[in-house]
Structure 1
Amino acid sequence: MSYDVIIIGGGFAGMSAALQLARARRPILVVDAGLPRNRFAAASHGFLGQDGAAPAAIMREALRQLSAYPTVNFVHVKAVSAAGELDRFEVALENGEVHAARRLVLTTGVADTLPDIPGLAERWGQSVMHCPYCHGYEVRDRRIGVLANHPMASHQALMLPDWGPTTFFTQGMVPVDAELAAKLEARGVTVETMAIVEVLGEGLAISGVRLADGRIAPLEAIFTVPKTAPVSPLAAQLGCAFEDGMTGPHVKLEAGQLTTTPGVYSAGDAASPMHNATLASAAGVMAGIGAHQSLIF
């Protein structure tokens, strides 16, 4: 079947793009495999009007609202390949279906790679988190650790004392020179150069971390920024250019969320160095508007 726009990815960015196009009465298809990046988080915070709501509940309501528009179609399956050019794109799905569209909006997201430390990955999205603005308030006044996973980790360590007493675990990755040491001291951050080798605690809670020298440092929450990579190969298949961000590559954008491939738009975590539900939704709005206006002008 042929559509004006196929949106690949049904998260905050994709559904926001779909809403703009639905209200413009354009025939669109939303393709979603049902594995959002935020599936590990029990609640979404900092999103106006939805603070504290479960991401899955937000998406169910978005699906309900979008389903009321007669030009919107959904398929809950993985998109495996995409090819073509402006006005003549084809998207192949895992179930064997092939759909055509004049424009594409890629909101496929990223995959996270955490440091290989026992006890860390299973607590991801619960007591191990990445964004102080998304989760800092919920661990306020608790003992917080910042686990270095990239050279800019000290930035996070300098932020987190606004939420609780903070220890910066450099993991041998971030050299603390005199200037940085002074900044950390001014913020009340404790610096620990001995590496974390295990995260401890009952269930998904954290009680502390074991260090390489055998010591146990009491902690109740850990913030770390994972390395990220596009979860889908579609942007690369379509020839979209990428650029390096702080945590990994993301799709390079021009005005209106347009990629370097004519007719292909992108939004969300796969197209931004900054990852946040509100930012993803706003970018999705822009991608939907950009795709719609390109069909007119």
Structure 2
Amino acid sequence: MTNEHGKAGYDAIVVGGSYAGLAATMQLVRARRRVLVLDAGERRNRFAATSHGFLGQDGRPPADIAAQGRREVEAYPTLSWQEDLAVLAEKQGDAFCVASASGKRFVAHTLILASGVIDELPDIDGLAERWGRSVFHCPYCHGYELDQGRIGVLAVGPVSMHHALMLPDWGQVTLLTNASFTPDAAQRAALAQRGVTVEACAVARIVEHAVVELTDGRRLAFAGLFTASRTHVANPLPAQLGCAFDEGPMGRYIRTDETRETSVQSVFACGDVARTAGNVAFAVGDGAMAGVGAHRRLMFGRG
């Protein structure tokens, strides 16, 4: 979208209308900047019934938090919202052009990438349908509600040591190595010191709420399970624009500076797409910083 003089129609395009994108948008519309949000409508935590650990919103359904955020930013007259998927972005002079799946094109001086990540889950029968319900990735988000019960950690590799050593603060932990990871002597000692039991038999499937059936026929019942997903940036725009990436323990994420600006000037990134791990509170904080960073870039130039 351009005006009759061919200049950018927006000060900023925010790709992704979830928590990080909403927080970034709020800073910009309150600075009376023209902002377009392009949102495909798929939040990463859409499977979870409640969200925890976000001050002032603890225990609320994630969809309700996002809906409230959208209502709040839509109260500002400089906001435009398109329910559409951004599929292509390119630099055009001192602006950026973004094309959507519906064939529309929009132009802005700055971009904020907040489209999140896709979780690649361990290939265990019964896990995917329990993701966000009785199988989790973040102890801070879901550990307290397990009421100090039995907790299983489904190993995917050495990164699962982190889960296994953290989770005893929330319950009685069993590390299910599942042929994905074999702790060495030092690691076994660290696990034992934290009271973690190690189960080496392979997992056949997950049934009921959080019952793990092992290949030897045993059934282990847990209050909840934790595992680490492999994450992938959900949108092709960062790669198209040439943004630099860093490699984290769960997958690649966009490299940013302290203002959340990427390696491409005037392109910012926030939320799960630009950090190794996250939750709603982190996403909102990152988004607020990205919005402020984009506003500073708009004010003080792109030179």
TM-score by length of 1: 0.96
Given the alignment, which residue of 129, 132, 139 partners 1:132?
Answer: 139
Does the CA-based 8 Å contact 1:85-1:263 persist in structure 2? no
Cα distance change of structure 1 residues 158 and 20 upon mapping to structure 2, 3 Å threshold: same
**Equivalent position amino acid for 1:238 in 2:** L
| Cα pair distance change 1:107/1:210, threshold 3 Å | same
- Structure 1: segments with no counterpart, 5+ residues: none
**C-alpha separation between the residues in 1 aligned to 2:35 and 2:231?**
29
Amino acid at match of 2:147: R
Q: CA deviation at 1:233?
A: 0.5
For 1:260, the equivalent position in structure 2 comes to: 263
Residue 186 (structure 2) pairs with residue 183 (structure 1): no
Q: Deviations over 1:56-104 (max 9, x none)?
A: 1011111111111110110111111111156321011111110000000
What letter matches 2:50 in structure 1? A
2:4 paired residue number: none
- SS of 1:48's equivalent in the other structure is coil
Shift, 1:33, TM fit: 0.6
2:107 alignment partner in structure 1: 100
2:241 paired residue number: 238
**How far apart in 1 are the matches of 2:59 and 2:220?**
30
Does 2:178 align with 1:168? no
1:150 touches 1:174 (CA, 8 Å); kept in 2?
yes
How much does 1:175 deviate?
2.2
Partner Cα distance (1:189, 1:249) in 2: 30
Which residue pairs with 1:159 in the alignment? 166
**Equivalent in the alignment of 1:194:** 201
Q: Which moved more, 1:27-36 or 1:217-226?
A: 217-226
Q: 1:241 to 1:86 in 2, by over 3 A?
A: farther
| Equivalent position of 1:7 in the other structure | 14
Cα deviation for residue 174 of structure 1 reads: 2.2
2:46 match: secondary structure:
helix
d(CA) in 2 for partners of 1:86, 1:179: 56
Aligned to 2:155: 148
- For 1:54-133, list aligned pairs within 5 A: 54-85=61-92, 87-133=94-140
User: 2:214 — aligned with what?
Assistant: 211
Point out 4+ residue stretches in structure 1 off by more than 4 angstroms: none
Partner of 1:293: 296
> Does the aligned pair in 2 maintain the 1:86–1:263 contact within 8 Å?
no
Match of 1:276 in 2: 279
- Out of 22, 26, 32, the residue aligned to residue 25 of structure 1 is 32
* Shift, 1:158, TM fit: 1.0
C-alpha separation between the residues in 1 aligned to 2:123 and 2:80?
A: 40
Shift of 1:194: 1.1
Instruction: Check the 8 A contact 1:87/1:103 in 2, yes or no.
Output: no
- The letter for the 2-side match of 1:76 is E
Q: Which amino acid aligns with 2:86?
A: A
Q: Deviations over 1:24-46 (max 9, x none)?
A: 00001011010110111111100
Deviation at 1:266, TM superposition (A): 0.3
Equivalent pairs: percent with the same residue? 49
**Matched pairs, number:** 293
3-state SS in 2 of match to 1:84 = strand
Deviations 1:90-132 (A, max 9, x none): 0111111100000000001000011111111000000000000
